[in-house]
Structure 1
Amino acid sequence: MRVQSDQLAFDELGTPLRDTTFVVFDLETTGTRPGPDGITEIGAVKVRGGEVLGEFATLVDPGMPIPPQIVALTGITGAMVHDAPPITRVLPAFLEFAAGAVLVAHNAPFDTGFLRAACHEYGYPWPKPAVVCTVRLARRVLTRQDTPSYRLSALAALFGASATPNHRALTDARATVDVLHALLERLGPLGVHSLEELLDYLPEVTPAQRSKRGLAAHLPERPGVYLFRGPSEEVLYVGTTGNLRRRVRQYFTGSESRGRIREMVALAQRVDGIECAHSLEAQVRELRLLAAHRPAYNRRSKNPHASWWITLTEEAFPRLSVIRTPRDGTLGPFRSQAAAKLAADVLAGAAGLRTCTQRISPRAPSGRPCALAELGRCGAPCAGRQSVVDYAPGALAVTELIEGRSAAPLDSALSQLDALSAARHFERAARRRDELAVLVHAVGRAHRLSSLAAIPELVAASPDSAGGWEFAVVRHGRLASAGVARRGVPPMPVVEALVAAAETVEPGPGPLRGAPAEEVGILRRWLTRPGVRLVRTARPWAEPAVGAGGWNGWLERAETAVALENAR
């Protein structure tokens, strides 16, 4: 027997459609705009394997008048919904009825849009269920020769539905059930037998795209990194996943709808997979591969390690400068030059540093201003009112802030902010507040990253979901080794083997000891997750208590104020 190359293996079939629970539902509303318009009726039918498991139906008080044209269309009047429960009572009941099921609706974006808006308005989390739209499915399965229209009434008549649609929620939902079953029957000969295949089938997929599914056949169902390679073996795209085979297959079955990625898939000739011990190793490997190959179809690959730093210039009376290469005593990293310049300006103003670029001679008399001020050509904020000796305390304060030994510049900036508020200069105060928040965020992030990068070796363990452990050996902010101890395997011998085989990391210059900021950030987020334990560390892992350490409360208040201003 000849087997087609794109036929799925048994273990790839996913959830069979006959075992999938669908909740087919319909809404009646006061209009077409989720939010401004309300829901007047919900009807739903729960089915599995062609059997009806239950029904849900209720009128809903929309809390607003029902327009005459809607009354004429649905027959639902204001008197009918006068004693009906409001959506605040109906919504949780419907969410419970539909929990764990695939939602199905005719023109599903309309109906799910109203449900999402209601969840958002009344504080219920949207469960993000899988959604099947029977309009979209019908357009993929039926041609214009099969039906002149994809309206529910036309499809119900075509398939001989047991219920005739009449713009009442439960009746329309019952008709949609029959339409769904008829469409699913037509998908069987097309090789769609599971829920995953159904969801992959809905988007438009080119034959050439679908024919490349075999490129994923050799990949394991393990976490790792995958590389799409082009005709000349060039790396087109790099990604990470918890299941290599399943994720790569999605690129060839239509769940990937981005035009840029579809173009990449058309060029791809091979997919390489790098199996990883766990998701942390996969994230770090992806980051390093992006930096090494800079693939054309990864948006993150243009400047994967681009960062900016603030430093004091090496002058007798230093000022702050923005640089690209970190060295000891620098503050950062910043993701853009503009953010670094903004933080440098705020810090210079708070610490009392000069901002002009005129070089000042160390032999200048102690009370003498700089040369440009004497000539009347000074454009700096100090305008020559400060003497050269006034800059020394500011430089010391900046150094102590960077090292986490003092928060004096931040305190000074907050005093300036309070003075503006007291003088009722509220717009300037709001602008200064936002600028100070940028600086506080930067100082806090710098201290968090540099504290981890300073540790020569740290070993940590995170529990997996099956009673085992995932391990990471971190050296100077870089992942040096990763592994796992499955349930029942003694963990400490695994740790010793990982440490012995770990990569040697020589510390480099700068606060991060040469480690990329993104990698240090990934490691720190993993290390601070709930349940992660430190197995051993060469030195205590501690972050400065001063600096930005005590500013979390102020940052929360500042962010709340910004949110309130944006909501007005």
Structure 2
Amino acid sequence: MTHPARPASRDRAPGGPGAQGVQGTLDDLGTPLADVTFVVVDLETTGGSPAESAITEIGAVKVRGGVELGDFGTLVDPGGEIPPFITALTGITQQMVYAAPKMEQVLPAFLEFARGCVLVAHNASFDTGFLKAACAAQGYAWPAFTVIDTVDLARRVLTKDEVPNCKLGTLARFFRSATEPIHRALADARATVDVLHGLIERLGSFNVTSLEELKSFAKAPTPEQRRKRYLADGVPSAPGVYLFEDERGEVLYVGKSGDLRARVRSYFTGSETRHRVREMVGLAEKVRTIVCATGLEAEVRELRLIAEHKPRYNRKSKFPERAMWLKLTVEPFPRLSIVRECKDDGAVYLGPLSSRRQAEEAQAALHEAVPLRQCTQRLTLRLIERGAARTCLLGEIGRCGAPCEGREPATAYAVHADSARSIMQGDVRPVVAAAQVRIDRLTVELRYEEAAAQRDRLAAFIRAAARGQRLTALARIAQLVAARPSFDGGWEVAVVRHGRLAAAGTIPPRAHPRPYLDALVATAETVIPGPGPSGSATAEEMECVLRWLDTPGARLAEVDGEWSSPAHGAEGLRQWIDNAYTGTEAADRGGGRPLR
């Protein structure tokens, strides 16, 4: 798609058609986009972090004026193993990169290919992060590339009515790209070229026609942002929570900050580029603030206020009640059930999970390891004896012991139920072993889509189990008092009861801590224990507390109860899953920035 250069003699006088024209110079116009040479790059990697992962493939396409000038594509020997998760996603196997050139051979050729060009990528920080790390490892200085991120541009020029998110696949379909993104570097780079051209067409309506205008486009505040700057007047420079409200007092957006004044003022500058937030600023007529003693209190208050008001411009944390749980029912022949609420009914719960799909994947992973019945009927001994129980195909193919037909007695089935209970409460090794056997077999057989399904099931289960085990450990502690060093030399203090932040405060520098701790404990909120892993707070609040406790320098002053995790629990595997899985998620670039 060609974008003709704007003639240097075009009138740019502000007076309209009847005004005296003044001929501008080429310097005034900048570099027309039709004259800019773009190199659109995409990488495939073994993971999501340059510090722990390596590049397996580089693809790049050079274009100018809508015309392709050349391409660059090669597999890269990462110097290590490619995780099965990555192979399942990209199709790049260990055998494929065995004879591929190493990065020290590929990098100079790529830098020469991109020399003097504008670098473009989808979620550019990911690709440039790996390329910069490669340059540092090989002793090359990172060239002073101008970098354009198609994710940032898409967020500025496209609305949520047009695209639900800014993933590469979504944008490629929207702009009717001739190339489908398939998680291979050169194909994804070609799809990004089509997305770039579609975005450049849209930029014409914003009067963006030069490279200089393109670079500054995302940084320019809107007129509405400039007009509303007065809303930040009087906001204190302190940690706390801020609420944007419209003329009727409806809460539009809730946020937190360690410096309320600086954060609120940023909404009225060019640094705020999110389309939805700019739209929200246009509707806002008031900013209300709540000063908090510590950053942890601000984070927790933000979560509670979002759950209470459900502001339309907050995307996350609005509906904690929608969390899903995997439950092992209490009945003669227990089964796995997906529920929305933990009850004090003696059942074992796993979670919380953020969606029904994740709950179903975790359930499937557990079913792969333990042959529990998968029917939904309430199965009793009397029903079986009468022959009135419904039967299903799983019993015939050996995926279930068929207790409904009386082929598996209650005592034998209880062994499966005990195994499932043990896995959900701590020892996740049987699920991991069963999933790895299937993933390895499917990968060898080149059945990548089925291997990816197994990968998703295992990841969902490990994450849910790790989350549940962390929360359960915190929820069963009647009272925990902890302190963390603050920047002024004093201490931040938190009182946590059954997972809920009951009080927060500070201790001045060089002050004796005991009186402050006693006063904070005496005035802390009374908290009643809640059922299951959820405790007496939402999962997100408990995770805020756990992150705070995990920061360097945090100390426990008092623990009323036992704080421990299972020896063979999922927590030890969560980082392994995240490292492998992050690479697959990063490959599907631009999946929405958190807006909280």
TM-score with structure 2 setting the length = 0.58
- State the 1:412 CA deviation: 6.0
Change (3 A) 1:247 1:375: closer
Q: How does 1:16-415 map to 2 (within 5 A)?
A: 32-33=38-39, 118-123=131-136, 203-206=220-223, 208-300=224-316, 302-328=318-344, 329-363=348-382, 371-373=389-391, 381-382=399-400, 384=402, 387-389=408-410, 390-404=412-426, 406-407=427-428, 409-410=430-431, 413-414=434-435
Q: In the superposition, relative to structure 1, how do residues 416 and 371 fare at CA in structure 2: closer, same or farther (>3 Å)?
A: farther
Distance 1:472 1:33, change over 3 A: same
The superposition leaves residues 168-211 of structure 1 with CA deviations (integer Å, 9 ceiling, x where unpaired) of xxxxxxxxxxxxxxxxxxxxxxxxxxxxxxx99951431x5323
For residues 562 and 417 of structure 1, do their structure 2 counterparts lie closer, same or farther at Cα, with a shift above 3 Å needed? farther
Q: Secondary structure at the match of 1:292?
A: helix
In the alignment, structure 1 residue 519 sits paired with structure 2 residue 532: no
- For residues 126 and 278 of structure 1, the distance between their equivalents in structure 2, rounded to whole angstroms, comes to 42
Work out whether residues 355 and 381 of structure 1, in 8 Å CA contact, stay in contact via their aligned partners in 2. Answer: no
Of structures 1 and 2, the one with the larger relative CO (CA 8 A, separation 6+) is 2
CA shift for structure 1 position 251: 1.9
Residue aligned with 1:228, SS: strand
Query: Given that residues 41 and 120 in structure 2 are in contact (C-alpha distance below 8 angstroms), is that contact kept between their aligned partners in structure 1?
Result: no
Structure 2 runs not aligned, ≥5 long: 1-35, 43-61, 64-104, 109-115, 149-215, 590-596
Tell me how far 1:263 sits from its aligned partner.
Answer: 2.4
Instruction: State the SS of the aligned residue for 2:552.
Output: coil
User: Residue 225 of structure 1 contacts residue 240 of structure 1 at CA under 8 Å; is this kept in 2?
Assistant: yes
- The separation in 2 between residues aligned to 1:514 and 1:252, in whole angstroms, is 38
Q: 1: distance between equivalents of 2:393 and 2:106?
A: 74
How many Å apart are 1:330 and its aligned residue?
Answer: 1.1
Residue-by-residue CA offset, 1:111-130 (whole Å, 9 max, x unaligned)? 99998785254258999x9x
| Paired position in structure 1 for 2:469 | 447
- The structure-2 alpha-carbon separation of the partners of 1:499 and 1:255, relative to structure 1 and needing over 3 Å to count, comes to same
CA shift digits 1:273-328 (9 cap, x unpaired): 10111211111000000011111111125424420001123332121100001125
Q: CA deviation at 1:454?
A: 1.0
Distance in 2 (CA, whole Å) between partners of 1:126 and 1:473 is 50
- Which one-letter code corresponds to 1:219 in the other structure? V
Measure, in 2, the Cα distance between the counterparts of 1:321 and 1:374: 17
Give SS of 2:268's match.
helix
Matched residue, 2:517: 495
How far did residue 482 of structure 1 move? 0.9
- Cα distance between partner residues in 2 of 1:35 and 1:320: 46
* Structure 1 residues 238 and 553: CA distance shift in structure 2, 3 A: closer
For residues 240-274 of structure 1, what are the alpha-carbon distances to aligned partners after superposition, in whole Å with 9 as ceiling and x for unaligned? 11111121122223432323222222222211110
Question: Residues of 2 paired with 1:517 and 1:387: CA distance?
Answer: 38
Structure 1: any 5+ residue segments left out of the alignment?
1-29, 37-65, 68-85, 90-105, 134-198
Change in CA separation of 1:425 and 1:485 when aligned onto 2, cut-off 3 Å: same
CA distance in 1, matches of 2:285, 2:440: 64
- The answer to whether the aligner puts 1:417 opposite 2:435 as a matched pair is no
Cα deviation, residue 565, structure 1? 11
Distance 1:301 1:562, change over 3 A: closer
**Using a 3 Å threshold, how does the CA distance of structure 1 residues 289 and 326 change in structure 2: closer, same or farther?**
same
- SS of residue matched to 1:534: strand
Larger of the two Rg values belongs to structure: 1
Change over 3 Å in CA distance of 1:419–1:498 after alignment to 2: same
Corresponding residue of 1:195 = none
| Cα deviation 1:344-378 (Å, max 9, x = unaligned) | 12212312101122443313679x99843499998
Q: Which amino acid aligns with 2:557?
A: V
CA RMSD, aligned part only? 4.5
> Cα deviation per residue 1:530-567 (whole Å; 9 max; x = unaligned)?
22111111123211113325546864786599699999
The 2-side partners of 1:436 and 1:275 are apart by 42
CA drift at 1:492: 2.6
Check conservation: 2:365, 2:431, Cα contact below 8 A.
Answer: no
1:433 touches 1:558 (CA, 8 Å); kept in 2? no
Structure 2 CA distance for partners of 1:291 and 1:123, relative to 1, 3 Å = farther
Aligned with 2:332: secondary structure?
coil
Contact 2:221–2:268 under 8 Å retained in 1:
no
Q: Which residue is 1:188 aligned to? A: none
| Paired letter, 1:205 | T
Indicate if the aligned counterparts of 1:355 and 1:380 stay in contact, CA closer than 8 A. Answer: no
Residue 432 of structure 1 corresponds to which residue in structure 2?
A: 454
- Identical residues among aligned pairs (%): 41
Q: 1:357 to 1:365 in 2, by over 3 A?
A: closer
Deviation, structure 1 residue 217: 1.8
What do the CA deviations read for 1:93-151 (whole angstroms, capped 9, x no partner)? Answer: xxxxxxxxxxxxx9998899998785254258999x9x999xxxxxxxxxxxxxxxxxx
**Are 1:472 and 1:483, in contact at CA under 8 Å, matched by a contact in 2?**
yes
Decide whether aligned partners of structure 1 residues 554 and 421 sit closer, same or farther in structure 2, where only a CA change above 3 A counts.
farther
1:536 aligns with 2:558: yes
Offset at 1:335? 0.5
SS of corresponding position for 2:249: coil
Secondary structure class of the residue paired with 2:516: helix
CA pair 215-364 structure 1, distance change in 2 beyond 3 A:
closer
Q: Distance in 1 between matches of 2:265 and 2:550?
A: 33
SS in 1 for 2:38: coil
Equivalent-residue separation in structure 1 for 2:460 and 2:290 (angstroms): 38
SS in 1 for 2:390: helix
Q: Secondary structure at the match of 1:543?
A: coil
Distance, in Å, in 2 between the alignment partners of 1:517 and 1:563 is 23
Distance in 2, matches of 1:420 and 1:355, equals 25
- Matched length: 406
Structure 1 residue 441, shift from structure 2 partner: 2.2
Distance 2:394 2:413 in 1: 20
